[in-house]
Amino acid sequence: MLRGSERLVSSLAQAALLGGSLLPALVYLFVGYAGVKQMAADDAKVQAEHVNRVIAGNPEGWRYATERLIDQVVDVQHSGTHTHLYDANGSILVERIGVDCPLFCITDRAPLKDFGKVVGGLQVDIDFAPLLWHGSVIAGFGLVFGLLMMRLLNRHVLVPLKLTQIANTELAFHDPLTKLPNRRLLMDRIEQALLASSRSKAFGAILLLDLDNFKTINDTMGHDVGDRLLIEVAQRLQVCLRQEDTISRLGGDEYIVMVEDLGTEERSAANQAEMIAEKIRSLLSQPYVIGHNGQKHHSSSSIGVTLFRDQELSIDVLLKQADLALYQAKACGRNTVRFFNPEMQASIDSRSAMEAALRNGIDQGELQLFYQPQIDQDGRVTGAEALLRWFPANQAPVSPAKFIPLAEETGLIVPIGLWVMQTACAQLKIWSDSHLTRELQIAVNVSASQFRQSNFVETLCDVLQNSGANPALLKLELTEGVVLHNIEEMINRMTEIKALGVTFSLDDFGTGFSSLSYLKRLPLDQVKIDQSFVRDISIDPNDAAIVHAIIAMTRSLGMESIAEGVETTEQLGFLRNSGCTNYQGYLFGKPMPVLEWGDFLQRPQGTALQKNRLVEKLHAV
């Protein structure tokens, strides 16, 4: 709606337009009145000339007298104190003047003097009817014109201006896709809610929700389908919440819900907030019909919740708490609800500190590569897997299970992965100078972020060329999650790399999709059996069946198999009997620094002794 000042300007504009339209009529009446007055003065002079020596004593007081009547005066006779004017027929003109005066006229009387002596009177009627009639016609036309112009002004100026203002307000405070309040309007409403809460002492809640796997739908089905999903989510949220609750879309697939008046008891408020969150989660888990062919699609949401009361915490802190709770909900497997608590805050603070330390560790050279031996069925060391380790200065080593996921989330895995590649290739070049190590392969784990870099192939070529390493001795280990993203592009990229002589191993096989439809298409050389299956292979029939099937499948596809996490002779015996030809695990050697690993191979008796021990282990089973 237009504000008060804008309504005043609009009214003044219309009044000015209407007044301007009536102005010609007012000008006509003013000019007409002045003209009649001048005519009255002129007619008085004409009278004086036709009535012998009779002089009009007050010509300015006369309003109107037609020259036609004055011309009819042919005789003037005095009777008593009156003077009579006669026409050619003998009729008294004085008596006729003023008789049957029209509605819009003015009657005026003036004395007639003869040589300065009052000898009679003369009545003159001034008729304004024609003047008013013409003025009314002009005013009518002006009024119609003014109303027409007012309509045009409203239709083509004021209404579009109002609609433009409404549209600008909508864009400024609402999300253009879902029409929900945007961040700016949300901040204002949260601020008002905090003020209201400080007066009522009632709790409120902020729910931050994120759609699980939305990117998959957006990428596989197109952005138009993704947009329809976002709109449908907004509509479902509006249905299941109260009118006074605020629903906002922050961007992407993130929404915020703010509810107020949850009572003054914290536990009761938390229970109500949880019920609302579960209601939202359940509703958003229902199938969506958003495709072009009416196909149903399933989605779910993760929700983080935090309570507020008074103005103890700022809006930024509340949103951060909700975000931390959402992060925990996703970490717990998604499609769940989690509340913020101080322990979460401490965990995030620790994570931030670790990220800063990791960045510093990269610059300070605190990262190292350890190498774990890989053995074939004859007990021969065929190579090693390069494993990343972090040794912060003056601190205990950090487990890869902690810092590698952090590096992947922050994007640090890309520069770290490049350093690993350069270091491993440089080690291959060093090993090529010794007959003991010149045929050893090094397996390097490549992250999804690193492999999906558009310049990955060019970077790999530069690393191989600069290091002088033999490409055939470099083995890249990829997980199923890497190769299944845009599989056609990944196959083309792997084919380019294979042309360089580099080999591929599919890491952690069996823990992902494990689909034969893509496995047979990928240019793989080796499949690595995940240690989660190897761990209980001798006691769990299900794990034994899975491992046996994986080995048989890879052999039928012409690929090698390698089992990781081999720690006991029982595990080794099952793997050998099932046809697995390569092994890696603590049974043969732990990951070790390159100097220690190199010394292990280079000791004359140590080499023979180590080889004999490996052979003994293999034959013992």
Q: Specify whether the CB–CB gap between 226 and 211 falls below 8 A.
A: no
Mean local confidence (pLDDT), 316-337: 88
How confident is the model at residue 2, as a pLDDT?
43
Highest mean pLDDT among 189-193, 392-396, 500-504: 500-504
Whether residue 54 is predicted with pLDDT greater than 50 in this model: the reply is: no
Whether residue 391 is predicted with pLDDT greater than 80 in this model: the reply is: yes
Lowest-confidence region among 1-10, 246-255, 505-514, 564-573: 1-10
How confident is the model at residue 59, as a pLDDT?
39
How confident is the model at residue 136, as a pLDDT?
66
From the list 124, 52, 66, 64, the residue with the least C-alpha distance to 94 is: 124
Q: Where are the beta strands (DSSP E) in 554-611?
A: 560-564, 582-584, 592-593
Mean local confidence (pLDDT), 44-68: 38
How confident is the model at residue 274, as a pLDDT?
86
Confidence of residue 266 (pLDDT cuts 50, 70, 90): confident
Residue type, 81: T
Confidence of residue 78 (pLDDT cuts 50, 70, 90): low
**CA–CA separation, 51 and 83 (whole Å):** 10
How confident is the model at residue 437, as a pLDDT?
86
Provide the b/e sequence for 116-154 (b: ≥16 CB within 10 Å): eeebbebebbbbbeebeeebeebbeebeebbeeebeeeb
% of residues, the chain, pLDDT over 70: 66
Whether residue 102 is predicted with pLDDT greater than 70 in this model: the reply is: no
Tell me if residue 248 falls in helix, strand or coil. strand
H or E, element range at 85: strand 82-86
pLDDT, tens only, 132-162? 666 566 666 656 665 666 666 566 665 665 6
Q: What is the CATH number of domain 183-340?
A: 3.30.70.270
Domains of the chain: which residue ranges? 4-132, 183-340, 367-620
% of residues, the chain, pLDDT over 90: 29
Mean local confidence (pLDDT), 592-621: 58
Mean local confidence (pLDDT), 584-609: 72
Domains 183-340 and 367-620 share a fold: no
* pLDDT mean across residues, the chain: 77
Whether residue 617 is predicted with pLDDT greater than 90 in this model: the reply is: no
**CA–CA separation, 314 and 318 (whole Å):** 6
Is 367-620 CATH 3.20.20.450?
yes
How confident is the model at residue 378, as a pLDDT?
86
Whether residue 533 is predicted with pLDDT greater than 80 in this model: the reply is: yes
How confident is the model at residue 33, as a pLDDT?
58
DSSP 111-161: EEEETTEEEEEEEEEEE-HHHHHHHHHHHHHHHHHHHHHHHHHIIIIIHHH
